[in-house]
Structure 1
Amino acid sequence: MSIIRWPIGRLILLLNFIFSPRSPKRPAQEQATLDEKTQNLSLYQLPSCPFCVKVRRAMKREGLKIELRNINGNNDFREELIREGGKRTVPCLRIEHEDGKVQWLYESSDVVAHLQQLTKAA
């Protein structure tokens, strides 16, 4: 199975690089406000996962700066995702609320919708 996954993963990364969306140009104050809203977010992901690519493309299209956590590149991230999120599924958006509660959002379409909602509220 990894014989198939490796070339497909590389193809996904190449196509994402070639056809990468552009970030919007915003006034500095507006971007700073948006960056403040996203500082409590982390995306647990794998670089060549197509659903993770979908979320990262949405982040770029919306001009969002969110910490990326590669669960294959860091065992601590993988263990945290399993321990606190409940499963080893990516993409997963970790949302830390102001009251200290943490929400784990797993479906790529739900994550993209959440990110779009953040930019509309800004």
Structure 2
Amino acid sequence: MRIVIRYFFRGLRLILTPFMLISEKLSTPKSVERSPEDQERVDRACENLALYQFSACPFCIKVRKEIARLGLNIETRNAQHDDHHREALHNGGGQVKVPCLLIADANDSEKWVYESDAIKAWLQERFEPGSGTA
């Protein structure tokens, strides 16, 4: 019985994934407008960020939409299909759970932020126009 349930959900995921990805593309907001100097400063701040994600995860989609809205160039790493990224997520963050934002700073320390709402809040605090940072 367990195998039937497993294959049922795998099949359901295969059917729903394209719809979720199309929905993401259609509903992603336009990015905020910044001056070229401000955008360059934001791009430099994003060089030390990486988002570990699965392509069809609804919580990852939520974070990717926020990244697009804020006009951020953050590297996305697919931990679902790339064993290297999955292993890095497990070794660095302690668990294979997405979305996870890796924040590396200049003195080689790393912070791993899990949970889509926590990631969104951190990004908004740091990169929202008018927030005074970045």
Q: TM-score range by the shorter chain?
A: over 0.9
Report the CA distance between 1:73 and its aligned residue: 2.9
Residue type of the alignment partner of 1:107: E
1:89 aligns with 2:97: yes
Runs of at least 4 residues off by over 6 Å? none
1:2 aligns with 2:23: no
Structure with bigger RCO (C-alpha 8 Å, 6+ apart) = 1
Question: In the aligned structure 2, how far is the partner of 1:76 from the partner of 1:57?
Answer: 25
Counterpart among 59, 63, 72 of residue 80 in structure 2: 72
Equivalent residue number for residue 39 of structure 1: 47
Between 1:50-59 and 1:72-81, the stretch displaced more is 72-81
Q: Secondary structure at the match of 2:25?
A: helix
**Alignment length, in residue pairs?**
122
Residue type of the alignment partner of 2:103: I
Structure 1: unaligned runs, 5 residues or longer: none
Counterpart among 28, 45, 49 of residue 57 in structure 2: 49
Q: What RMSD over aligned residues (CA atoms) do the two structures have, in Å?
A: 1.0
Percent identity over paired residues: 36
TM-score with structure 2 length normalisation? 0.87
1:59 aligns with 2:67: yes
Report the CA distance between 1:4 and its aligned residue: 1.2
**Greater Cα radius of gyration, structure 1 or 2:** 2
TM-score with structure 1 length normalisation? 0.95
Q: Secondary structure at the match of 2:18?
A: helix
Report the CA distance between 1:40 and its aligned residue: 0.4
Residue type of the alignment partner of 2:90: I
Counterpart among 13, 20, 38 of residue 21 in structure 2: 13
